[in-house]
Structure 1
Amino acid sequence: MRFDEKMQLSSIQRWRSSERIALSILEQQGFQIVETHKKIIINGTEVGEVDIVARDKEGNIYAIEVKAGKIDVTGIRQAYVNAMLLNMKPMIVCKGYADDAARELAQKLGIPVIQLSDVFLVEDEELEIVVREAVEEALSNFFELLLTTPLELREEQKRILIALASSTTLQETAERLGMPLETLLKFLNEFRSLGIIPRWAKKWSSIKRIAQILVAKLTVKSTIEEMKNSLTVIQEMLSDIRKFHHNLK
């Protein structure tokens, strides 16, 4: 089997890879990822889905369509309609335009299009090194998170972490906490600056996973403190019993 045959990717794998690359590029350009795979619901019926919801530095919210290949007229129309239904600005991340008609339509509708490189030329050895280093870095990040001593948190901060850990989206988290999404995003920025949540955790899946780890650590810490308190009480009771027994003699 030739190397290029072994490396053939399914359409789903290619799309997931494109989505990961798109998330990375958006974050590098200053966007804050709000949600991924957001359902579009009208009168209780799901009518579509947006790949990425992101917020720019000015506070504008974008509904972003990700394409593993080139975007055509139909894809541009879909991205535009989805954004309008969500009352957001449209954006597309793809590997270029399928034809001039697609380019003209995107320009006419004012849709920003981020074009990815169509081919990544990487030697086998370079690819192995890149993948190994990425895995090592990811494992190192999570081991550091698991092994460090939990920070002392305010009750409000604990409440936010618990909501993050038990929600399916940032929007749901904000609703559970009874606060606007904008306020929740400010709290997340504060958490990063305080070191509660690592700066590298920007995707919702990473934020949720870290919140779950932190909540578990807080629970363990609280349980240990309760056990220590109980042990202290037991030791005091034993001391009183010994004194009482000694006095009886």
Structure 2
Amino acid sequence: MRGRVSVEVAKRVLSGLGYRVVEESIPIVVKGEEVGEADLIVEDEEGRRYAVEVKAGKLSVSGVRQAKVNAKILGLEPMVVARGYADEAARALAEELGVRVVCLADLIAISETDLYLVVKAAVEEVLCEFLLSLRALKEEEVMRTLEAIAESDSFSDAASKLGISVGELGRILGSLRRDNVLPPISGYKSLRAFAAALVTLKRLLEVRKIP
């Protein structure tokens, strides 16, 4: 739970600094094997993308090395969000390896209770978005799109199931967001989870109607 809270806080802090969250929970794969995961991918105002490691505590030397290696595998710039450095060795290594470090201690003073409230607010926001999306349950074409997303591992897989191009799927999703049927979700993994929740709810409601 603490790690999830840290990621949510990091997203808000980075957004406030002008970064755009592009994706979350990115698997790091080497020769077909998953060897780790980056917490976030963010993009700055100039279009540079960073693989972000979020630390619940302070950044150590090993954390600096991990961030550098993970970013290199992903072909991105390295960044760490942490509550400062564990020691001067970690600071020196980060500077030497070009790892950008965002120190939460320099930006916010927040207790665990405050962190809980931040996440609570985020959860409430998600629930409101979910409630707004419930009207999609009555739209057959919308549900067909959501079912394809829920059952696919990527945009291309979902588009293939629907018999349309990835570009066309993107246009459909854009229209659904403008109509507040879908919230502004970042990353396919989150979109798939949201779609799966709506599809599951629809199926449960259909089961309840069976005499």
TM-score when normalising by structure 1: 0.59
Aligned-pair distance for 1:52?
2.0
1:202 aligns with 2:186: yes
Q: 2:59 aligns with which of 71, 75, 81?
A: 71
Residue correspondence of structure 1 range 167-206 to structure 2 within 5 A? 167-168=152-153, 172-174=154-156, 177=159, 191-199=176-184, 201-202=185-186, 206=190
Is 1:14 matched with 2:2?
Answer: yes
Unpaired runs of 5+ residues, structure 1, are 1-12, 224-249
Deviates more, 1:108-117 or 1:77-86: 108-117
3-state SS of paired residue (1:120): coil
Aligned to 1:120: 110
The 2-side partners of 1:93 and 1:66 are apart by 5
The equivalent of 2:82 in structure 1 is 94
C-alpha displacement of 1:166: 2.0
Describe the shift of the 1:153–1:132 C-alpha distance in structure 2 as closer, same or farther (beyond 3 A): same
Name which structure has the greater RCO, CA cutoff 8 Å, separation 6+. 2
Whether 1:43 aligns to 2:27 is: no
Structure 2 distance, partners of 1:180, 1:61, is 26
Q: Describe the SS at the equivalent of 2:99.
A: coil
SS at match of 2:90: helix
Judge conservation of contact 2:24–2:38 (CA < 8 Å) in 1: no
Counterpart of 2:20 in structure 1 is: 31
The Cα offsets for residues 39-96 of structure 1, whole Å up to 9 and x where unpaired, read as 2222233333222233445443321111111111211111111111121221111111
Unaligned runs of 5+ in 2: 207-211
Task: Judge conservation of contact 1:23–1:33 (CA < 8 Å) in 2.
Answer: no
Measured in 2, the distance between the counterparts of 1:128 and 1:80 equals 30
Instruction: Give the Cα separation in 1 of the matches to 2:182 and 2:64.
Output: 36
**Residue type at the aligned position of 1:195:** N
Larger radius of gyration: 1
Q: In the alignment, residue 48 of structure 1 is paired with which amino acid?
A: G
TM-score (norm 2): 0.68
Q: Deviations over 1:116-163 (max 9, x none)?
A: 1375248x7x89987776555443332222146756968xx964x444
Q: How many percent identity over aligned positions?
A: 36
Tell me if the contact between 1:14 and 1:68 (Cα under 8 Å) persists in the aligned partners: yes
Given that 2:19 and 2:42 are in contact with CA atoms closer than 8 Å, whether structure 1 keeps it comes out as no
Distance 1:191 1:94, change over 3 A: farther
> CA separation of 1:85/1:72 partners in 2, compared to 1, >3 Å: closer, same or farther?
same
Q: Give the counterpart letter for 2:42 in structure 1.
A: A
Output the aligned Cα RMSD: 4.1
Alpha carbons 2:137, 2:198 under 8 Å: kept: no
Question: Which residue pairs with 1:235 in the alignment?
Answer: none
